[in-house]
Amino acid sequence: MDYRVCTKGAGIGMNVLLIGGCSSMINNLIIKFNKEGHRVYLLTGNRYHKLPYQKVFERYNFSYDSSCLNEIFESISPDLTVFMGAYDTNFEWEKEEAEAVKYSAAVMNILMGYAMEGEGRFIYLSSDEVYGESSEENIQEQEPVSPNSFKGMVLAQTEEMCESYRKSQGLDIVTMRLDHLYGIPRAMSDVNNICSAMCLEALERQTITIDEDSRLSVLFERDAVEFLYRLATAKQHRYSLYNISSSTEVTERRIAEMVQKAMGYDVEIFVREREPKRRILSNRLYESEFGNPFFCETDVIVKKIVEQMKRDRRIYLHGEDREQTLHEKVLKKAGWLFEVLVPFAENLVAFIPFFMLNNRAVGSEYFANLDFYLLYVLLFAIVYGQQQAVFSAVLAVAGYCFRQMYDRSSFEVMLDTNTYVWIAQLFILGMAVGYMRDSIRKLRRESEEERDFLSLQLHDIHDINNSNVRVKDSLETQIINQNDSVGKIYGITSTLDQYSPEEVLFYAAEMIGKLVRSRDVAIYVVSNASYARLFSSTSKKARTMGNSIRYPELGEMYRTLSEQKVFINRRLDERYPLMANAIFDERGTMQMILMIWSIPWESMTLGQANQLVVISALIQNAVLRANRYLAALEEKRYVGDTQLLETSAFHSLMRAYLKAERKGLTECIVLKIRTGIQAEMHSDPVDYTLAGQEIMKKLRQTDYIGTLEDGGLYVLLPNTSSEDARFVRERLADIGYESEIVEGIADGR
């Protein structure tokens, strides 16, 4: 039984990402999540949206093949993602073969974007179309799918894709199969179910065609939203697949009779000669866990569907926009009228101060030659264009004539040629300036439209170029570097043969880093059934776990390694390396653990894991040869049956450690032992066999003791700092052996 725990439960606002084209179903989901206090984001799947969505916090008008899906998931970090799947109106299934490829690619891209973020719950909506065969019993989740249509086959495949991602990535992905979903259509794209299809046929032909005795169960959209919401906000759920159904059996004839009754006029029902079919999903699994929120009566909803489609029949019969109500028409006209009248109102208001200024200027010694009306006309010609220039000129002429009639009669004003010259001047200048302003505005608008069009093309070209560059770089890397070549791997690992047996593991870490392009590699050697001790590392980060680890306590990493598989840290848990592999002997006992702490994200693939397996096998061969060589010389390396190394053997070992330390592959401390006997005699070298046996009891299994050419007794402490060596020196002092850290030893001498 598979339990999944939601990061946030009901009552706590979640970041919800809805993915799908505009439909009544997705709008109902938006309304529900907004009402419950969650923050809703929307990925439309189409750059050019035509139909309206409900209000959301943020909307992303990107197609599913956009390269920025990962950035969208990263930016939102959704606690819940709902993909409309089978009910996504971005996909038109008339051409099933072509749409199948597009749909599968979209699901893959969305799942990859979600997997990169790896947080929150993902709900995928499938449909009853994955089952094509008739069944006398309600179909349960464990029944194998049996699609009989191309769309059903694609939906079944994408369900398997979701399940594969859930298992391989450890993600919280849930598939919900909705049984014959239907709703009240608001647009032609919503006529995609048996109820609305019967209504449309009745509107077009006054007939309804049915399959006699075919039985099904229909699920209203708002009920489906309640089913989904309970699952989405549940703190935990047991299964990854749920069948969602109203559990109310109804025949096609019964639905047709509901439509016939609601139409209000004669609608004839025709029967197709087909074998009766029964396809009803079992809702038992969901009900046992979350209960049943179903409450809508089918006959009531069918009546509402008929009323809606009869009222807006032109939408469904001719594809026209919905006829607006009187209130909507008045508001639309009022808005247009207000927008048109504002410039005229401003013109009238501005005319008053210019009229007053012109009257004051008449007879003035300083302003008599200043024509305020001309300034007034030019102002509105520049601001609003030719239309307002003509209107302001008419007002200016009226004001001018009115002022002239203070001193002369209207007949005299009309006979004055100066009046007509002034009027002609006013109209010519106003219309000329207004025409230039309108022409400039038109050119600017066309320029902006062309710029937007070219920017859109440039964006598309940029996306295409990025895709081509990624492909080129990938091919170039494969051709030039050939890091996946077994021959190249063997060529590099074979260089381990040139090192002495004591040096093999030191340079194995350096060699692994070179092959996998990582600066942080560590090799741990298993010392017993519980502990592994650090042997060599290439950086401080590679020593993150410390010098000694209890490897059975490494959780998921240990379980993976014990199964002789490569561990890949897909969750990017900082406690573990990004990739690790274990080396086993012929009896299946773990001998070494290879850890890689930094590696490019694109290299964390199955191919890179297989490459690490090959590298590990070649390292194992090199180590095996070195161990066999040392085993053959064991009698010459040690003094009798003790663990005291001979002078030449200890010198060679210490030289290997000190050389590796200078290259940053390890750290070590060399202690010189001063025994009581030596302190008293200060002369001939003493026999250190007994002292070595006593000292080894206080050392680790990975520490070494031996003599050098000067006749002194020395201890080599691998992967030990000066601070750590202090504890060893104190333990040795407790049994009567003083020691000092030897600095500056070159090449082990």
Which helix (H) or strand (E) segment holds residue 331: the answer is helix 326-361
Decide the pairing of beta strands 207-211 and 268-272.
parallel
Beta bridge partners of 80: 16, 121
Compute the mean pLDDT over every residue in the chain, rounded to the nearest whole number: 78
pTM value is 0.47
Q: What is the pLDDT of residue 121?
A: 92
Dihedral through CA 29, CA 31, CA 37, CA 38, nearest 10?
40
Burial zone of 142 (CB within 10 Å; 0-12 exposed, 13-18 middle, 19+ buried): exposed
| 39 φ, ψ (degrees, to nearest 5) | -90, 120
Distance CA(225)–CA(230), nearest Å, equals 9
Distance CA 517, CA 505 (A): 18
What's the burial of 336, exposed, middle or buried (CB within 10 Å: 0-12/13-18/19+)?
exposed
Provide, rounded to the nearest whole percent, the portion of the chain with pLDDT above 90: 5
Give Cβ neighbours of residue 284 (< 8 Å, ≥ 6 apart): 138, 140
What is d(CA 588, CA 375) in angstroms, rounded to the nearest whole number? 99
Instruction: Report helix angle 372-384 to 417-480, nearest 10.
Output: 30
Which pLDDT does position 681 carry in this prediction? Answer: 40
User: Is residue 11 very low, low, confident or very high in pLDDT (cuts 50, 70, 90)?
Assistant: very low
Signed CA dihedral, 636, 639, 644, 647: sign only: negative
Collapsed DSSP state (helix, strand, coil) of residue 599: coil
What are the DSSP calls for 373-439, one per residue?
HHHHHHHHHHHH-HHHHHHHHHHHHHHHHHHHTTTS-HHHHHH-HHHHHHHHHHHHHHHHHHHHHHH
> With 70 as the cut, is the pLDDT of residue 448 above it?
yes
| pLDDT tens-place string over residues 653-695 | 787 778 777 777 677 888 888 765 444 444 444 566 777 777 8
Identify the structural domains of the chain with CATH numbers, from first to last. 4-318 (3.40.50.720), 327-445 (no CATH), 486-632 (3.30.450.40), 635-741 (3.30.70.270)
Which run of H or of E encompasses 201? helix 194-205
| pLDDT tens-place string over residues 145-203 | 888 888 888 999 999 999 988 888 888 999 999 988 888 887 777 787 888 888 888 88
Give the tens place of pLDDT for each residue, 526-560.
877 788 888 788 888 888 888 888 888 888 888 88
pLDDT at 404 over 80: no
pLDDT tens for each residue of 318-344: 665 555 566 656 666 666 677 777 888
Q: Which whole number is the average pLDDT over 457-476?
A: 66
pLDDT at residue number 680: 44
Confidence grade of residue 307 (pLDDT, cut at 50, 70, 90): confident
Locate 610 and state its tokens.
């297989």
For residue 236, which phi and psi values (nearest 5 degrees)?
A: -150, 155
Q: Mean pLDDT across the stretch 212-222?
A: 85
Amino acid at 637: R
CA dihedral 630, 636, 639, 643 (to 10 degrees): 0
Looking at residue 571, what DSSP letter applies?
T
Ranges of H-type helices in 53-178: 69-76, 96-117, 150-169
Give φ, ψ of 251 to 5 degrees: -95, 160
Over residues 603-618, the pLDDT tens digits come to: 666 667 777 777 777 7
pLDDT at 625 over 80: no
Contacts of residue 560, Cβ cutoff 8 Å, sequence gap at least 6: 566, 567
Q: Is the model's pLDDT at 125 over the cut of 90?
A: yes
Three-state secondary structure call for residue 688: coil
Please report the beta strands in 179-309, taking only residues with DSSP state E, as ranges in sequence order: 181-182, 207-211, 215-216, 219-220, 236-237, 241-244, 250-251, 268-272, 278-279
Query: In the prediction, which pLDDT does 122 show?
Result: 94
pLDDT tens by residue, 132-146: 888 888 888 888 888
Contact by Cβ (8 Å): 46, 63: yes
Top-ranked range on mean pLDDT: pick from 53-67, 153-167, 415-429: 153-167
Please tell me the distance from the alpha carbon of residue 574 to that of residue 18, in angstroms, as a whole number. 31
Question: H or E segment at 556?
Answer: helix 556-562
Residue 575 has a pLDDT of 84
Amino acid present at 106: A
